[in-house]
Chain A
Amino acid sequence: MALLQISEPGLSAAPHQHRLAVGIDLGTTNSLVATVRNGISVVLNDDEGSALLPSVVRYLADGSLQIGMAAQAVQSEDPQNTIVSVKRFMGRGLKDVGDVVDLPYRFVDTPGMLQLRTAAGVKSPVEVSAEILKVLRDRAERSLGGELVGAVITVPAYFDDAQRQATKDAAKLAGLNVLRLLNEPTAAAIAYGLDNASEGVYAVYDLGGGTFDISILRLSKGVFEVLATNGDSALGGDDFDQRIYCWILEQAGLSQLGVNDVRLLLTHARTAKEQLTDNLQAQITAVLSGGELVDVTLTRDTFYDMTKNLLARTLQPTRKALRDAGLAVDEVQGVVMVGGSTRMPQVQRAVAEYFKQTPLTNLDPDKVVALGAAIQANVLAGNRSADDWLLLDVIPLSLGIETMGGLTEKIIPRNSTIPTARAQEFTTYKDGQTAMSIHVMQGERELVSDCRSLAQFDLRGIPPMVAGAARIRVTFQVDADGLLSVSAREMISGHESSIAVKPSYGLSDEEITQMLKDSAQHAKDDMQARALREQQVEARQLLEAVENALQEDGALLDADGIAAIRASMEGVRFLLEGEDQTAIKRAVEALNQATLSFAQARMDKSVSGALKGHKMSDLES
């Protein structure tokens, strides 16, 4: 007979209606699958008893595949067809992936996402990821004895819309129903937050193989909220290996090694690093291809000294995230450690010193993300009672639209919790304008040229009106997966137009970090640039209005009057070419002055025109 699991009181599943759900940590180096069994989140092992599936896929000429350990083992023999770290390419174009020259793959630069040419044909990163997910799905279905109703898949907090969509597509291709995408640090917090069931503010310190992420979360009254995220996408355990490697070269007086020797010494460096977690010193002994013997002893203290600044580099983004969240260090109630690199004692010590408390390390830092995802999947599949918590995430960069003068208007500010919807009203710029182009932007800067374009669409059918009279309501909606839809509606006619944003190009962690950094550095310049652009827009608008008025009612003025206004307009036009905001402002004021009596005359004319033929009583009502 079938094997049964213990359910929560009152929640026994009807026969054949088990809601089997899993959490998947689709990692850059390794992937895992976990589920909640008998009320406890557990990682599912494969037939060999190992939990980690190396995220490596090898394509062979006969169309067959090798995935995981088997593919990893032959990686160096067949680098072109063995895809490692495919996560870096998800939802990214060739241009987004920096140093392609160093990678052994044959890239195909297709619009949107890049593709890889393998012995089995051209494959997209989505297809490669799907192969990894299929293995995990198969493992889960065999472990749980039934078909899955769905999965929660984790993604880095900085993943943008394109990368999230690509992850969803990969899951669909693997035959998985995605219950939700979940940010990795958030998943880790769930794993701990529920086990300890204590409310308050938590920091999630995630130091992986090649990336560092810090997230500040608040757990209160059953609501889990991410307050802020930050990180460094080029900092991880590999950098610690690199430091040891450099130290070995220095100690042994070596330089200019071949590729194989570099790899050999890096492997030894990594082993030494791992040994120093439990031992006070590590022996490094290796024979290089040229026959030279390397034999050095690395002490824990020396290792600490040489990696001090790496630790300092993790605390910088940590400080920023806390500042973004508006919190002081002593308001953080607990610190969760994620990622294999947090096993290093000096990392734990540095974090403990900074936060003035011992970080939480009782769950396996390699598995904690998958465990949290499984708990979330279990809730979403309906296997827990209704009094369970809701989960909130934040958007990493502000979202807004372009306004006249190439300026951005932020509609949803950065770090807003999702799902969210915000609306703002805009109006027309020109008389009789019947269409409006909505340009959706992502970024922190004031000028459109410094932000990232996500999408563009037109709203047509605006009834012709004078500039500024139309009311166009633009609504931004971000769903629980962080995907954005934008709609624009003209309030009088009811005309509506909308777009779902699945940007063709991804944005890398580096770029996001860079964009955030730039916005802080250029805050003052941006403010001035915005003031100048706004002044220019105002000036152009005035010139146009005066020009129209002259066309219509020039007859109200004598030749001198027209000449005076024309001269004043020329003054504005000339200054518009330059960048002197105050000068433009003065010229605009001068033009306003010069046209004052003309405006008065026009007003009189239109009032008398409007009154003509009406009785006094008509006007009073």
Chain B
Amino acid sequence: MSKIIAENVNVYYGSKQALFDVSIDIAEKEVTALIGPSGCGKSTFLRCLNRMNDVIDICRVEGSIKMDDLELNSRKLDVVRLRENVGMVFQKPNPFPKSIYENVAYGPTIHGIAQSKEEMDQIVETSLKKAALWNEVKDRLDEIGTGLSGGQQQRLCIARAISVSPEVILMDEPCSALDPIATAQIEELIDDLKKEVTIVIVTHSMSQAARVSQKTGFFHLGKLIEFGSTEKIFKNPDKQQTQDYITGRFG
């Protein structure tokens, strides 16, 4: 069952083309990993899925991206509503310089989700529990979010993303700034989350892609070279380029 269907997506930064005719089907409640060397356009593609490219003035997106029959690449799209449904976790943990509680309550507040203080407390607690952070921070919710360790900060960001119950979560190299233990915790978390949400993760680590994902797409120089089940991509890819990248012969 497809959650997102992208067809012939082209992205330009000014006159430079960053993505060439990317078409991909992202299945619901699965983890889709996007791999490829730096600058291959995998993050650019990820940012098309919640229209984060709007933030960049010179960026232009062409083609069709449909999520449950809703055209994402349309001027008429309500970006605020889209981003409520499609959360995002960034490469570098970026909690707001506010308290842990306020960090998680940020989304529900701006979208008017909680009706009362009790409801908000409930949302914050559930989100932190889902992000496997609750036990570590439950006694210090008033402390500033930027004071946590790197791994905790990233889990706080995940809690922030799931606080508005999105259907899709985009992760842009979520573990690249973390140590192996924190990385293992995040990967475990991704495994839990996929029961409820669709996850698209960009990663530089091929072993991570192999561990967490069900589908993998390989990008190179702005093109989607190969897309298929993770097992197939890693064990028996169709394309020589994919084979070379996976085995570490380039990239």
Decide whether A and B assemble into one complex.
no
Query: A residues within 8 Å of B by Cβ?
Result: none
